[in-house]
Amino acid sequence: MEKFDLIVIGGGPAGYAAAMRGIDFQKNVCLIEKDKVGGAGVYNGALSSKTLWEISNKVSNINDTIVSEGRSPFYLSWSEVRKTLAEAIFERKFQYSCHIKLLQTETMNKLLHYERGSASMVSANEVKIIHEGEEKIIWGENIILAAGSRPRKTADIPVDEKIIMTSDGIDQIEDYPKSLVIVGAGVIGCEYATIFSNFGKTKVYIIDRQERILPFEDEDISKMVAQNLKSKGVTIHSKANLERMQIVDGEVEYELSYPDGSHETIRVEKALLSIGRIPNIENLGLENAGVLMSKRGVHIGDDDTRTNIPNIYAVGDVSGRIALVNMGEIEARHAVEKMFGNKPERLNYDNICTIMFLNPEVAAVGLNEQQCVEKNIPVKVVKVDYSLITRAIAMRKTQGFFKIIVTNDSEMRILGMRAVGEHASSAIQAVGLLIKLNMPIEVLSELIHPHPSIVEGVQECVRMLLNRSIFKSSVFKDKLACYSLVDGIKTPLERL
């Protein structure tokens, strides 16, 4: 029986990161993947959807310019879009493939052992691998479960991945659908609504049970994104309950009901089900190893990545925390460092930087306003409109704002930030670092930022809090805001 210091089940972003961190410690690592290394981080997920967003955003930006001059809209054929998408996926796939092969050579001391097949635990240290009808059992001192997740489906909606699809099927369509309904108005649903409305070839509908899309974010963000989707022709069915969805004559027919008792039936060409993901845990053999589920019973239970079995860890989507590529990688690296580096610090989820690929782009770190209200945390909030940022003016992209939330005291420690607009994702890392280090805002105010750059807006937010801003909120009342939030009550702060 082959023996390893570390066995990693799953070669997605989390599993791959775990294997590479194990090699850093000069450990003998076995990485097992049943399908494709990279998982949803590459295929039918992060890389594919963001490549589509980048292409669609370029098309939209071109049309925003030329159509205003009276020219006909610019369109890309779907075959051209798929060609670019395939190139992006192949590039990442090729990198993984070459990397794995080289790590298995004598030159690299064969620290990595790669296995194709389905893996399940036989005991707390033994893992069975089945591939092409053959099976074998290997032994591991430590095991990391990183089996990832898959799109959630419902029994009453007939998903065939051709007419009614999940994210696993949407990339495989043969042409732009003339019309598309998206079930679910969370991040992924709104991202795909943005993508297809940007291309300008598809009439898009979104079904949302809530009063507004992106209900977990502040209303000003939700409102701006919704307005932009509507300006692209997207219909948002707010406060709608999906009564039925079925395939009729090769198309999708769906019926909605509303709180006022009214009903509506609409037929479209395609449908995308975007109602979350579920962890791949059914076939891992958890019971054989004695690994317990979480209290909710829908994912593996763990304490700072370690399960109830001391040598078995759960990271990424199977742990049921934050289903993001960057978080899966961080959890995986942390788990390996606990195993072989005796790392005492626990993972901190307070400074997670995220991006929502919408119109406009939305970047976030830490708490937002409504979370502070829900937690009854007194805060100060400052907002600076993009129209006052030189780089935004130069790009002719002045829609958006920066918002920073700090403690309502003299120290004004940063609790969170939201950036909405062009280059938003490049503007939050410094704030994420300040949150992690618990440093005061003066640090940002004293930095010399590159000019012109979007990040200057972050500095201006800090200057407003310190009452040192270049533009005075008493003059630009529609562009600048500074207020306190205590017990849910907003009170303007006196600023010049």
| Dist. CA 90–CA 13, nearest whole Å | 16
For domain 3-43+85-150+278-341, give its CATH number from 3.20.20.150, 3.50.50.60, 3.30.460.10, 3.40.50.620. 3.50.50.60
Q: What pLDDT is recorded for position 495? A: 62
Spacing of C-alpha 352 from chain mean position = 11
**For 344-359, what is each residue's pLDDT tens digit?**
899 988 888 999 999 9
Of the pLDDT bands very low, low, confident and very high (cuts 50, 70, 90), residue 430 is confident
Domain boundaries, the chain: 3-43+85-150+278-341, 164-275, 360-486
**For 24-48, what is each residue's pLDDT tens digit?**
999 999 999 999 999 888 888 899 9
**For 248-278, what is each residue's pLDDT tens digit?**
999 999 999 999 999 999 999 999 999 999 9
Contacts for 329 with CB less than 8 Å, ≥ 6 apart: 13, 14, 17
* pLDDT over 90, % of the chain: 73
Of the pLDDT bands very low, low, confident and very high (cuts 50, 70, 90), residue 327 is very high
Contacts for 209 with CB less than 8 Å, ≥ 6 apart: 239, 240, 241
Q: What pLDDT is recorded for position 296? A: 80
Flag whether pLDDT at 365 surpasses 80. Answer: yes
Flag whether pLDDT at 474 surpasses 90. Answer: no
Flag whether pLDDT at 472 surpasses 60. Answer: yes
DSSP string across 205-249:
EEE-SSSSSSTTS-HHHHHHHHHHHHHTT-EEETT-EEEEEEEET
**For 192-229, what is each residue's pLDDT tens digit?**
999 999 999 999 999 999 999 999 999 999 999 999 99
β-bridge partners, 50? none
Q: What pLDDT is recorded for position 138? A: 97
Architecture of domain 360-486: 2-Layer Sandwich (3.30)
Q: Per CATH, which fold does 164-275 belong to?
A: FAD/NAD(P)-binding domain (3.50.50)
Q: Give the pLDDT mean for 162-191.
A: 95
Task: Please check whether residue 182 is in contact with residue 207, taking contact to mean a CB–CB distance below 8 angstroms.
Answer: yes
Question: 3-class SS at 267?
Answer: strand
Flag whether pLDDT at 403 surpasses 80. Answer: yes
Same CATH fold assignment for domains 3-43+85-150+278-341 and 164-275: yes
Output the CA torsion sign for 471, 475, 477, 483. positive
Of the pLDDT bands very low, low, confident and very high (cuts 50, 70, 90), residue 312 is very high
The residue type of 219 is: E
pTM as predicted: 0.93
| Dist. CA 74–CA 55, nearest whole Å | 12
**For 83-108, what is each residue's pLDDT tens digit?**
999 999 999 999 999 999 888 886 66
Flag whether pLDDT at 452 surpasses 70. Answer: yes
Flag whether pLDDT at 436 surpasses 90. Answer: no
Q: What pLDDT is recorded for position 295? A: 83
Element spanning 246, H or E: strand 241-248
β-bridge partners, 254? 245, 266
Q: What pLDDT is recorded for position 207? A: 97
Q: Give the pLDDT mean for 134-153.
A: 96
**For 381-390, what is each residue's pLDDT tens digit?**
999 999 999 9
Q: What is the chain's mean pLDDT, rounded? A: 92
Q: Give the pLDDT mean for 276-281.
A: 94
